[in-house]
Chain A
Amino acid sequence: MSAAAAVFLPLIGALVAGALAFVHGRKETKAGADRAAQLVTCTLMVLSALAGIFLFNSVALEGGGGTITIFTWVDSGSLEFAWALRLDTLSAVMVATVTITSAMIHIYSIGYMHHDPGKPRFMAYLSLFTFFMLMLVTADNLVQLFFGWEGVGLCSYLLIGFWYDRPSANRAALKAFVVNRVGDFGFILGIVAIYLLFDTVRFETIFAAAPSQAQATMNVFGGTFHAMTVITLLLFVGAMGKSAQIGLHVWLPDAMEGPTPVSALIHAATMVTAGIFMVARMSPLFELSETSLAVVTIVGASTAIFAATIGCVQNDIKRVIAYSTCSQLGYMFFACGVSAYSAGIFHLMTHAYFKSLLFLGAGSVIHAMSDEQDMRRMGGIWRMIPVTYVLMWIGSLALAGIWPFSGFFSKDVILEAAYAAGSGVGAYAFWMGVAAAFLTAFYSWRLLFMTFHGKPRMDETTLAHVHESPKVMLWPLFVLAAGATLAGLLGYEAFVGHDAGGFWRDSILVAQGHDALARIHDLPGWVPWAPTIVGAAGIGLAVVFYLLAPHLPAKLAASFAAVYRFLLNKWYFDELYDRLFVRPAMAIGRGFWKVGDGLVIDGFGPDGIAARTVAIARWVAARQTGYIYHYAFAMLSGVVILVSWYLFQTAG
């Protein structure tokens, strides 16, 4: 019951607010509709969060669970699946995280979108987004998961393009949807491959049968391959798209075009965590392919360091945080890659709190700065917005993994697990992770210092207008700050500590021998300290660069101009894709149309035949001159030819 409430209340909210978006008329009527939409969606979302907490308590802590079937969706041959909610610890953790952060983001939006004319529409999209994410995490079969998966893709499209007057927003929205679709291409083939191997798309049955298929092979693309490797790699392509891993990450930074609460929702609770969740959910299959796990680890570790390098040079406050998300998702993936799924989900949970805190805090800064997002035009405002300042510190401390903030616990355990895995890819992940931790601390404090300290660099009117955000925006931040501070400490034992076995039960499966997480207690003494030390070093570097010697960064950028430009342009991924896919696709499309359809098919086909027919008819018509002697000559020639042919025939 609480599960159904948690999942479907946001949908009701979305429908009500969506209907209210069509209310027109006088100003008071419109304001009333706005108010009603905010009230309904927020109330329902808070109720959903309460149901989510209740669910977490009854399923994860008290050991309940089960499946609620709603009705059959498709039944074609042996392909049979229902709309159903699967409740186990993994989905309960996700439901609680999603609903709590989403509820806070809903409330915050009342304040943040105060001046926007499209309030009901915005609230409707937010609730719909949450609903799809909840459908995704509670799915009991792959197709329902895909339903939620595409649903969040749709909502991100709508929300990124929320300000549809801006061409940049529309472009970003389109890009997000299409890049996600590239991932979905792999995902859907993965689903189909699973179905053909297991004859079902239901998790229950797939997981039960997985061990017996461990050595199965599959004939695909003209070769025979290890079935589990093929399947899990295809699934992982989907996860890479949704969770913005290197190569398919290009949509995430552009997603900043949406209003800030959207960024918080996309980056913290919904959407990008879906890929991590899916890999954890499919752990019984991933565990059966060493190749796939290695790929997951390498991609995750590479993304962690890659995104962190870009984060260090960006000047848009939201873009820095966006790349930080990308990088943190990399951590979560390589945790899964070394079979420490629970650590990955643990980090997902703590990250949801501190990343939404950071985004909403950044939103509060932007709000105070009259919609300025460029940190080069900020500075020196910490006295004017002290609450936001403190909250941003808490978020950064958690992100950098400083004790006792939540990120410390979750990030440490991931790095330790990577080291303890003892494999080559594990070591790669560990060192990339440590380096990324250094950069994370550096760019976090770079952000803090550039935004809040130093000389004010904005114009007079903006400076005069700087103000602390209203309570409706601050209260949600306090809740998230509490989560960012305490979630790690409180959750450690249950998620990855001694109680982990009883906590997760069978919702995550780790194969025998994949015991990286168990071995983190007997590591060399320096390993647990490494992240903290590099974190402190990163902060120190930021202090030097942005407090003590502010002229240094520019000098450094000048002397390593090529590297700087490379990072500033985000490794030129956008330019590369533009040359490689976007422009050729348009050119080929035009070519097929004008040349293929126009010249070749129509030219040799209907138009050509028509033209030839007309030509022949003209030629024949031209012979009809009307002069008797022309016809007589033609007849005579015919007679001569006929007679000669006859003579030759009889003679031969």
Chain B
Amino acid sequence: MYQLPILSLVTFLPLVGALLILTVRAEPELVQRNARSVALWTSVINFVLSLFLWFRFDRTTADFQFVEKSDWLPVIGASYHMGVDGISMLFVLLSTLLTPICVLASWRTVKDRVKEYMIAFLVMETMMVGMFSALDLVLFFIFFEGVLIPMFLIIGVWGGPRRVYAAFKFFLYTLVGSLLMLLAILAMYFISGTTDIPQLLAYDFPAGVQTWLWLAFFVSFAVKMPMWPLHTWLPDAHVEAPTAGSVILAGVLLKFGAYGFLRFSVPMLPDATAQFTPLIFVLSVIAVVYTSLVALAQEDMKKLIAYSSVAHMGFVTAGTFSLTVHGIEGAIFQALSHGIVSAALFLVVGVVYDRMHSREIATYGGLVHRMPKYALFFMLFMLAGVGLPGTSGFVGEFLVITGTFRANTWVAALIATGLILGAVYMLYLYWRVIFGKLTKDSLKGILDLSEREVLIFAPLALLVIWMGVYPMSFLEVMHVSVTKLVNDFELARAAADMLPLAAR
């Protein structure tokens, strides 16, 4: 049977949409309308198309699926190689889900250069999907870097007053990381002679080289994650980015780091991973405790949620490097859950920002009187952020704590303090924005969610509850791949321990 190149379709369909938008020539008014609808339809169709992956995905194998391979740059042996496994498949879906939501969220708020804005988002979708499905290092690097450009433009062009500073900070931070990764990729190619990821996964890098390769990758992923102390670009970027930009940034871009650790650092460089695990643990704990406390002191809603993202990513790194099945499944689950929840929380902020043009917490108060529907959605996402059982946030945190408890009880106990601190800053935020008397005159006429906004939040709310009540749907996708990852890691470690004995 002829196999549909589904991954290529999902990756490049948005580009086709972008080209369509580019070719439209008409009145400015009409161009704007067309750009919006083309972007929406393209991204919705792309999401529906990507559901094909969900339904056809074989949950019983750890192999790459929907694989496509053809020669591309034979000179360096790079090929066009795409495929997904249990670790990457759900991230692809996350990207295709959030793009139409972003388009919808920008429907009325973006009035300037609509055409270019929509093109940027569609290009970004191509880059994100491509990044998660690339099975060749060169291809991966192109997508990984490519995503920077539209994001840089979205922050720098459609952002807030300090957008240029934020955009450059974001760009330079990630660029420094990327340069090191490029060196590591070159080194890998020269040592192993291939850029094919499945082949590299099977390749045994000498222990001494591993350290350097690991560190180079680490800087790049740690910036993307972001891990403390490389996180300061994030609050600035979020604050200045338009709502939809924040959604993609928090929802998908932060997962690049987690994905990178799981795809490269852990399986390809197991000895270095074991060696650097304590470093990651320390940084994760600092991320959780430090940024939770910082979040507590914030006066800007977006900054608060940005800092809470750093704290949640601390759970992801700790879980990943617990190197247990629970910890890694928890880390992936937490990453997905955070993708939904933080995206939703930024949208929540966006709703009142659109109405009041202020992100200051002090601007608000007593919104529940005028906006009960808004209060309900905000409550749900806030609770998911706090990790209440029955929401998506709990499952990831619980699995991560289980995994890290096995690896190191101190780490488990210290990151579990995130449960307390998270409750404090989230509930405190909710109190100041939603509860209290509605005394401010400026808020007296504020409107509750429109139908379009309900349409944006409803699918995210359903997902949050689905992931919390029946997480099996998602855990079974990743289970086999994660088990293989952990087994391979342990085998490699055991082999490394045997080595000195054999040499003697």
**Residue B233 interfacial (CB < 8 Å):** yes
**Interface contact A196-B437, CB-CB below 8 Å:** no
Partner of B395, one of A74, A185, A605: A74
**Interface contact A178-B479, CB-CB below 8 Å:** no
**Residue B162 interfacial (CB < 8 Å):** no
The CA-CA distance from A77 to B388 in the complex, in Å, is: 22
Q: Which of B417-461 contact A (CB under 8 A)?
A: 417, 419-421, 423-424, 427-428, 431, 434-437
The CA-CA distance from A157 to B427 in the complex, in Å, is: 10
Partner of B401, one of A73, A189, A586: A189
Instruction: Determine how close the nearest CB of chain A comes to the CB of B89; give it in whole angstroms.
Output: 17
Q: Which of B344-403 contact A (CB under 8 A)?
A: 366, 368, 372-373, 383, 388-390, 394-395, 398-399, 401-402
**Interface contact B405-A193, CB-CB below 8 Å:** yes
**Interface contact B419-A181, CB-CB below 8 Å:** yes
The CA-CA distance from A304 to B205 in the complex, in Å, is: 64
**Residue A597 interfacial (CB < 8 Å):** yes
* One of A143-151, A391-399, A540-548, A560-568 contacting the partner: A143-151
Given A73-B472, A189-B405, A178–B293 Cβ distance below 8 Å? Answer: no
A192 proximity list for chain B (CB < 8 A):
398, 401-402, 405, 412
Given A189-B401, A593-B298, A181–B410 Cβ distance below 8 Å? Answer: no
Cβ proximity bits B186-229 to A, threshold 8 Å, 1 near / 0 not:
00000000000000000000000000000000000000000001
B470 proximity list for chain A (CB < 8 A):
71, 73
**Residue B248 interfacial (CB < 8 Å):** no
A649 proximity list for chain B (CB < 8 A):
none
Q: Which of A574-619 contact B (CB under 8 A)?
A: 585-586, 588-590, 592-593, 596-597, 601-602, 605-606
**Residue B413 interfacial (CB < 8 Å):** yes
B325 proximity list for chain A (CB < 8 A):
76-77
**Residue A263 interfacial (CB < 8 Å):** no
**Residue B172 interfacial (CB < 8 Å):** yes
**Interface contact B293-A592, CB-CB below 8 Å:** yes
Q: For residue A74, which residue of chain B has the nearest CB?
A: B471
**Interface contact A150-B410, CB-CB below 8 Å:** no
Q: For residue A148, which residue of chain B has the nearest CB?
A: B389
Partner of B420, one of A21, A74, A178, A222: A178
**In which size bucket is the chain B interface?**
35 or more
**Residue A559 interfacial (CB < 8 Å):** no
**Residue B169 interfacial (CB < 8 Å):** yes
B184 proximity list for chain A (CB < 8 A):
none
Cβ proximity bits A325-366 to B, threshold 8 Å, 1 near / 0 not:
000000000000000000000000000000000000000000
Q: Which of A38-76 contact B (CB under 8 A)?
A: 71-76
Partner of B297, one of A76, A182, A188, A593: A593
> For B233, B398, B416, which residue has the most chain A Cβ atoms within 10 angstroms?
B398
**Interface contact A188-B401, CB-CB below 8 Å:** yes
Partner of A165, one of B235, B405, B437: B437
Partner of B431, one of A79, A151, A170: A170
**Interface contact B436-A165, CB-CB below 8 Å:** yes
**Interface contact A76-B420, CB-CB below 8 Å:** no
Cβ proximity bits A511-554 to B, threshold 8 Å, 1 near / 0 not:
00000000000000000000000000000000000000000000
The CA-CA distance from A398 to B426 in the complex, in Å, is: 42
Instruction: Determine how close the nearest CB of chain A comes to the CB of B448; give it in whole angstroms.
Output: 10
Q: For residue A154, which residue of chain B has the nearest CB?
A: B388
Partner of A597, one of B294, B399, B421, B483: B294
The CA-CA distance from A165 to B424 in the complex, in Å, is: 20
Q: What is the number of residues of chain A that contact chain B, defined by CB distance less than 8 Å?
A: 54
**Interface contact B294-A178, CB-CB below 8 Å:** no
Instruction: Determine how close the nearest CB of chain A comes to the CB of B360; give it in whole angstroms.
Output: 16
**Interface contact B419-A184, CB-CB below 8 Å:** yes
The CA-CA distance from A196 to B406 in the complex, in Å, is: 7
**Residue B296 interfacial (CB < 8 Å):** yes
The CA-CA distance from A73 to B470 in the complex, in Å, is: 6
A572 proximity list for chain B (CB < 8 A):
none
Instruction: Determine how close the nearest CB of chain A comes to the CB of B492; give it in whole angstroms.
Output: 20
B405 proximity list for chain A (CB < 8 A):
189, 192-193, 196
**Residue A470 interfacial (CB < 8 Å):** no
Describe B's contact surface by its main secondary structure: helix
A605 proximity list for chain B (CB < 8 A):
229, 232
**Residue B81 interfacial (CB < 8 Å):** no
The CA-CA distance from A178 to B427 in the complex, in Å, is: 9
The CA-CA distance from A22 to B454 in the complex, in Å, is: 14
B423 proximity list for chain A (CB < 8 A):
177-178, 181
A75 proximity list for chain B (CB < 8 A):
472, 475-476, 479
Describe A's contact surface by its main secondary structure: helix
The CA-CA distance from A192 to B398 in the complex, in Å, is: 8
**Residue B266 interfacial (CB < 8 Å):** no
**Residue A221 interfacial (CB < 8 Å):** yes
**Residue A164 interfacial (CB < 8 Å):** yes
Instruction: Determine how close the nearest CB of chain B comes to the CB of A1; give it in whole angstroms.
Output: 22
B373 proximity list for chain A (CB < 8 A):
22
**Residue B326 interfacial (CB < 8 Å):** yes
Partner of A150, one of B298, B388, B436: B388
Instruction: Determine how close the nearest CB of chain A comes to the CB of B239; give it in whole angstroms.
Output: 13
**Interface contact B389-A150, CB-CB below 8 Å:** yes
Given A185-B419, A185-B420, A154–B383 Cβ distance below 8 Å? Answer: yes
Partner of B436, one of A22, A164, A602, A606: A164
Q: For residue A221, which residue of chain B has the nearest CB?
A: B409
**Residue B173 interfacial (CB < 8 Å):** yes
Given A589-B296, A601-B229, A178–B388 Cβ distance below 8 Å? Answer: no
**Interface contact A161-B401, CB-CB below 8 Å:** no
The CA-CA distance from A73 to B427 in the complex, in Å, is: 27
Q: For residue A75, which residue of chain B has the nearest CB?
A: B472
**Residue B41 interfacial (CB < 8 Å):** no
**Interface contact B389-A147, CB-CB below 8 Å:** yes
Q: For residue B471, which residue of chain A has the nearest CB?
A: A74
Instruction: Determine how close the nearest CB of chain A comes to the CB of B179; give it in whole angstroms.
Output: 14
Given A185-B419, A590-B297, A76–B399 Cβ distance below 8 Å? Answer: yes
Given A147-B389, A189-B416, A588–B326 Cβ distance below 8 Å? Answer: no
**Residue A174 interfacial (CB < 8 Å):** yes
**Interface contact B472-A606, CB-CB below 8 Å:** no
> For A21, A605, A606, which residue has the most chain B Cβ atoms within 10 angstroms?
A606
Q: For residue A590, which residue of chain B has the nearest CB?
A: B297
The CA-CA distance from A596 to B232 in the complex, in Å, is: 10
B475 proximity list for chain A (CB < 8 A):
74-76
**Residue A647 interfacial (CB < 8 Å):** no
The CA-CA distance from A193 to B405 in the complex, in Å, is: 8
Given A72-B472, A79-B402, A188–B416 Cβ distance below 8 Å? Answer: yes
Given A76-B325, A76-B329, A221-B413, A592–B435 Cβ distance below 8 Å? Answer: no
Instruction: Determine how close the nearest CB of chain B comes to the CB of A158; give it in whole angstroms.
Output: 9
**Interface contact A606-B294, CB-CB below 8 Å:** no
The CA-CA distance from A606 to B420 in the complex, in Å, is: 32
Instruction: Determine how close the nearest CB of chain A comes to the CB of B361; give it in whole angstroms.
Output: 14
Partner of A181, one of B294, B420, B483: B420
**Residue B12 interfacial (CB < 8 Å):** no
The CA-CA distance from A590 to B476 in the complex, in Å, is: 42
The CA-CA distance from A147 to B471 in the complex, in Å, is: 14
The CA-CA distance from A149 to B398 in the complex, in Å, is: 15
**Residue A556 interfacial (CB < 8 Å):** no
**Residue B57 interfacial (CB < 8 Å):** no
Instruction: Give the 7 A-B CB pairs with smallest separation, nearest first.
Output: A589-B297, A589-B293, A147-B389, A164-B435, A590-B297, A589-B296, A220-B409
**Selected A-B contacts with CB under 8 Å, 23 pairs:** A21-B372, A71-B470, A77-B324, A77-B326, A79-B399, A143-B398, A164-B368, A165-B437, A177-B423, A178-B424, A185-B417, A189-B416, A193-B405, A196-B406, A221-B409, A221-B413, A585-B424, A593-B297, A596-B290, A596-B294, A597-B232, A606-B169, A606-B173
Beyond A77-B326, A178-B427, A196-B405, 17 additional pairs, beta carbon < 8 A: A22-B372, A73-B470, A77-B483, A143-B389, A146-B389, A151-B388, A154-B383, A164-B435, A181-B423, A188-B401, A188-B416, A195-B402, A220-B409, A585-B296, A589-B294, A592-B297, A601-B232
